[in-house]
Amino acid sequence: MGAAPGAPTGISAAAVTLRGVGREFPTASGSHRVLDAVDLDVAAGSTVALLGASGCGKSTLLRMVAGLDRPTSGAVEVAGTPVRGVSGRAAVVFQEPRLLPWRDLAGNVALGLPPGTPRAEGRAEVLRWLETVGLEGFAGHRPRRVSGGMAQRTALARALVRRPGVLLLDEPFAALDALTRLRMQDLLDDVQRGTGATVLLVTHDVDEALHLADRVVVLGVPEEGAGARVVRDVHVEAPRPRDRADADLAALRVDLLDLLGVPRAQRR
């Protein structure tokens, strides 16, 4: 796995395991089951994309891996250790950058440093990750002075400065314009291949999943009133970095869109 230009090393990738994971939320009339008996293995150093209809529990699953939520049933493990509370082995990038407006970009990235990091070492780490995501000249800029894509690059650097074993991405590029989104996908691919981090990506974009992931896992609800389960687990054999015009990827795209029930008239 070749290193991306300028990518810091030292990330120790961690495997993720879900066994019989279910999640219910209380309602006025009882409860609402979102996930039901989900089994999933994510190998250390791999990239897995989660697809499925809105509301099927993709983000909930991600939050449980991060320790931001707890399953109603079943177990979640990171690196063989049960997740009980916020996991120090995982870092999350959300759809919104969630930057503090009163801090410059370097200050926002520094928020991700592990507790107790010496000041000089931390500063060097922050600058290395800003360089990795192409923001070496913007360390002193406040969030309001940079574009949406640059803000999201900062959020990615903030997650990576922790050197997480698992990088969790919850539709991180959904709010970006089309060209910026493609560039961010390529950046993420470069960084993942350069660091070897485990990546679990939630997306609604089939093309994004096929461009980035070693496996595409589709969540679906088998019947009304049930929670979502894994209904398809697709291994993407094409080597990375990938050509978006690859004919094999185009065939997989059609299969996944059919599975997701996207009408042909709505496909681009």
Whether 134 contacts 152, CB under 8 Å = no
Residues 133 and 248 in one domain: no
Out of 104, 134, 163, a domain closes at 163
> What pLDDT does 224 receive?
76
Structure tokens at 57: 């529990």
How many domains are there within the chain? 2
The residue among 45, 63, 4 whose CA lies nearest residue 214 is: 45
Q: Which domain holds residue 264?
A: 1-89+166-268
Tell me, yes or no, whether 84 and 179 share the same domain: yes
Q: What is the pTM of this model?
A: 0.92
Whether residue 113 is found in the same domain as residue 241: no
Task: Give the mean model confidence (pLDDT) for residues 167-195.
Answer: 92
Reading the block at residue 139, the tokens are 């360390």
User: pLDDT-based confidence at 265, cuts 50/70/90?
Assistant: low
Q: Are residues 36 and 136 in the same domain?
A: no
Are 138 and 254 part of one and the same domain? no
Does residue 263 surpass a pLDDT of 90? no
Q: What is the largest CA-CA distance in the chain?
A: 56
**CATH code of the domain covering residue 57:** 3.40.50.300
Both 72 and 173 in one domain: the answer is: yes
Q: Of 163, 186, 218, which one is at a domain's C-terminal end?
A: 163
Cα–Cα distance for residue pair 37/56, rounded to 1 Å? 13
Strands 16-27, 73-78: pairing kind = antiparallel
Whether 3 has a pLDDT exceeding 80, the answer reads no
Under the banding of pLDDT at 50, 70 and 90, the label for residue 62 is very high
Task: Clarify whether residues 214 and 243 are in a common domain.
Answer: yes
**Any residues with CB less than 8 A from the CB of 193 and at least 6 apart, and which?**
1, 2, 3, 4, 240, 241
Mean of pLDDT over the chain: 91
- Residues 189, 249 share a domain: yes
Distance CA 161, CA 208 (A): 24
Output phi, psi for 52, to 5 deg. 160, 165
